[in-house]
């Protein structure tokens, strides 16, 4: 069977999400580095695979797939019964996984990425961090994390007492918030969120991916 090819940039949150999923599912893959810093994701060769010019894209046999959240769902379902079960073991568990995946995509990711962009990427491009915009998005994250704290006081992970895609989807962005943006207090100031983060960020799959360089 052909090895899955991941066209991505090792430091990108979306690429790391896909790589972590592959590691959790114990699937062999080949990472083909698309140098986003040099604009390779906007070149015709890559745009032929992903017209939106974003990383990553995967190639699995005849299937070409982009959008990281769609990719990880595909992988979790294709490799059901192998590695970590990322959708739970029943329809109701799967529904809860989907629910919290949506929360991550709709409520958590946008403010988190805005903070990352303003603190990490804008200065690298010669700009100045918009502190008011950072603060506004920190306030949005505070509200989301207060809901997480309540949820995680009742279950070990977001969808229940099992690690799932819902937790995995938080790893790349939260890692940068904590380690590179000086926003670790958002996590550590909440007892149950802190315990959850310490648990999921120590998983071997994530440690392997987060230690990869460009």
Tell me the CATH number at 125.
1.20.1050.10
User: Considering the domain boundaries, does residue 214 fall inside one?
Assistant: no
Which pLDDT score is estimated for 214? 47
For a pLDDT cut of 90, what percent of the chain falls above it? 93
pLDDT, position 119: 96
How much is the average pLDDT of 185-202? 98
Q: 133 and 60, same structural domain? A: no
Range of the domain at 44: 4-85
Residue 195 in any domain: the answer is: yes
Q: Are residues 169 and 113 in the same domain?
A: yes
Write the CATH number for 17. Answer: 3.40.30.10
Q: What are 112-171's pLDDT values in tens digits?
A: 999 999 999 899 889 999 999 999 999 999 999 999 999 999 999 999 999 999 999 999
8 bridge partner residues: 33
Rounded to two decimals, the pTM is: 0.95
Beta-carbon contacts of 60 under 8 Å, excluding residues fewer than 6 positions away, are 2, 4, 5, 78
Percent of the chain clearing pLDDT 70 (strictly above) = 99
């Amino acid at each position: 069977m052909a090895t899955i090819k991941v066209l991505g940039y090792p430091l990108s949150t979306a690429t790391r999400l896909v790589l972590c999923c592959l590691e959790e599912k114990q699937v062999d893959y080949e990472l083909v580095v698309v140098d986003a810093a040099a604009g390779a994701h906007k070149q015709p060769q890559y745009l032929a695979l992903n017209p939106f010019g974003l990383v990553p894209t995967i190639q699995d046999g005849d299937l070409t797939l982009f959008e990281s959240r769609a990719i990880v769902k595909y992988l979790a379902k294709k490799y059901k019964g192998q590695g970590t079960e990322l959708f739970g073991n029943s329809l109701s568990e799967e529904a809860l996984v989907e629910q919290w995946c949506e929360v991550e995509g709709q409520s958590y990711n946008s403010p988190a990425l805005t903070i990352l962009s303003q603190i990490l990427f804008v200065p690298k491009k010669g700009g100045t961090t918009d502190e008011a915009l950072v603060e506004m998005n920190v306030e949005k994250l505070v509200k989301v994390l207060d809901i997480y704290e309540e949820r995680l006081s009742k279950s070990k992970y977001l969808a229940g007492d099992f690690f799932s895609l819902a937790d995995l989807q938080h790893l790349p962005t939260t890692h940068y918030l904590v380690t590179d943006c000086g926003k670790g207090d958002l996590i550590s100031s909440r007892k149950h969120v802190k315990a959850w983060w310490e648990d999921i960020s120590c998983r071997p799959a994530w440690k392997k991916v987060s230690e990869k360089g460009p």
